[in-house]
Chain A
């Protein structure tokens, strides 16, 4: 992998970032991590991938997961006054703060497509999506990001025509733009409350609805997940938490654009959305860990 040094004004292109994400996930402790990654790390150290950079930090130090790990563990242990607690937190910090790459699968291997929406366009009746979680008075328009997601769904479908579950904002475009009117294209519709107001579906709400409609997660087989590129990791994790074997499809790039007119303000710009997404990841994970530790509350 190549990487451009981010030191202010630094012209250096770095040839290698030592990526040990997969080994890190399977390691039981840091000692094993160190041992397992030593060959790669040493090779890179010997290659002296960074030299002459005048920015902050030590330019002679390789940029790698191992070094990142060391630095994070050291600071956290110092701040908390406890190395063991720092070690306990680090896997979550690395996963939810620093991992945005996606597990992928070849289109040929998928059995189902599940597509998660991203933002919307408000209209006069709907207004913006409530940031406080309140219900909307009327459906917004799906908006351009969901159109791009529908395009991605269609490209995957062309590679492997399988059953599609698409959040309604995407499903509208699959019908209007690609004429995908079929029992094998199922729209996951929002929940209309008794008073007529609309409960916006959460990522988990969509995943749960897909499993319910299919009868079981296993019956979906290998699931090709479609979502905005920055939402896709959480879509895949959420799908997996609902029992799906979920992946991004290797051949089809996911949309990366942000819609400045989105009805959900947190989906209008990338820096803000990532904060929103990490918040959601941590909230779900922490809730799950607390529930596991104390099932009686």
Chain B
């Protein structure tokens, strides 16, 4: 990454401002000399927030939160061989029809999530607990029956045709119910869309599961322009929406910790 950035800085300076070439070359080289490091990122964030808030202590606290919320998108991972169960989160879906006759279809992203889950199952054939929009694909396209795949939390459709997909928390709690207990799931291998995986693992962990993604399985990165909800159609919007979800969880946790009695 740092090499690529050096190239950008050097080429932008060289190509664009010949009249100030000396100044720019020096500046660009100065930038190029500063590779990315976690410590430097934290130092720069802390300095900026300290200035903006006039408060170094609060800035330091917020930087801890923001570094995780904004800049950490990779979930913890385990080897497939360690998995005792597979927990699969869907990624919205598609709809057909309208009003009361609206129907939910799995759609192409859940199809590739199902494929990833099946790849994992081939590496380690353990019980799969899958959100319904993925479970239906595993059953229909991969020949896995109800003894191997437990379908949880299908999307619901209101009388007006509004679709509600299950929250991550609901999927986790339903899987725990289906298994009998969190302990019965053992080490849980999480399969989901790549950009959802960090929060999916966090939610599962918060619910008491020992959860991680699996090293050997590449999680899908596809977005469906016809998908629902609308935030699931474009990566930038989805990630922003994930930041909102992460802030919501952090806010709720901090309030509960600080003021358990309200």
Contact = CB atoms under 8 A, between A and B. Distances in A.
Interface of A: 1, 3-7, 14, 17, 19, 30-31, 34-35, 38-39, 41-42, 45, 55-58, 61, 63-68, 70-80, 82-83, 85, 88-89, 92-93, 97-101, 128, 131, 265-266, 268-272, 274-276, 278-279, 282-283, 285-286, 289-290, 293-294, 297
Interface string B29-43: 011001111111111
A149 B52 CA distance: 21
Contacts of B50: 3-4, 6
B40 A285 contact: no
Contacts of A98: 45, 48-49, 52
Contacts of A35: 12-13, 16-17, 24
Nearest to B236: A88
A286 B244 contact: yes
A61 B40 contact: yes
14 contacts: A6-B60, A38-B23, A42-B23, A70-B36, A74-B2, A74-B41, A79-B72, A101-B52, A271-B62, A275-B62, A283-B244, A283-B248, A290-B241, A294-B233
Given A17-B47, A79-B74, A98-B45, A282 B230 contact: no
A285 B240 contact: yes
Contacts of A290: 230-231, 237, 241
A19 B47 CA distance: 11
Nearest to B22: A42
B59 to A, nearest CB: 7
A41 B33 CA distance: 14
B170 interface: no
A283 B37 CA distance: 30
A7 B56 CA distance: 10
B65 A55 contact: no
Given A42-B26, A79-B72, A274-B62, 12 more contacts: A3-B50, A6-B47, A6-B56, A17-B47, A74-B35, A75-B38, A78-B1, A89-B236, A131-B262, A265-B262, A274-B58, A279-B250
A70 B5 contact: yes
Contacts of B73: 79-80
B215 interface: no
Contacts of B4: 83
Interface in B64-104: 65-66, 70-74
Given A270-B55, A272-B255, A78 B236 contact: no
Top 5 nearest A-B pairs by Cβ distance?
A57-B43, A74-B36, A279-B247, A63-B47, A56-B39
B47 to A, nearest CB: 4
A294 B230 contact: yes
Nearest to A45: B30
A223 B71 CA distance: 36
A64 B44 CA distance: 7
A211 B35 CA distance: 49
B236 A85 contact: yes
A180 to B, nearest CB: 31
A232 B250 CA distance: 22
B46 interface: yes
A225 B250 CA distance: 29
Nearest to A270: B58
A85 B2 contact: no
A270 B35 CA distance: 33
B53 interface: yes
B60 to A, nearest CB: 6
Contact of B37 (A3, A57, A271, A272): A57
B241 A63 contact: no
Given A31-B12, A282-B244, A297-B230, A99 B43 contact: no
B244 A279 contact: yes
A63 B23 contact: no
B36 A78 contact: yes
B1 A77 contact: yes
Nearest to A82: B235
Given A72-B71, A74-B1, A80-B73, A293 B43 contact: no
Contacts of B70: 72, 76, 89, 93, 97
A45 B26 CA distance: 10
Contact of A100 (B36, B53, B251): B53
B166 to A, nearest CB: 19
B253 to A, nearest CB: 10
Most buried by A among B17, B28, B239: B239
A113 B49 CA distance: 28
A65 B12 CA distance: 18
B52 A100 contact: yes
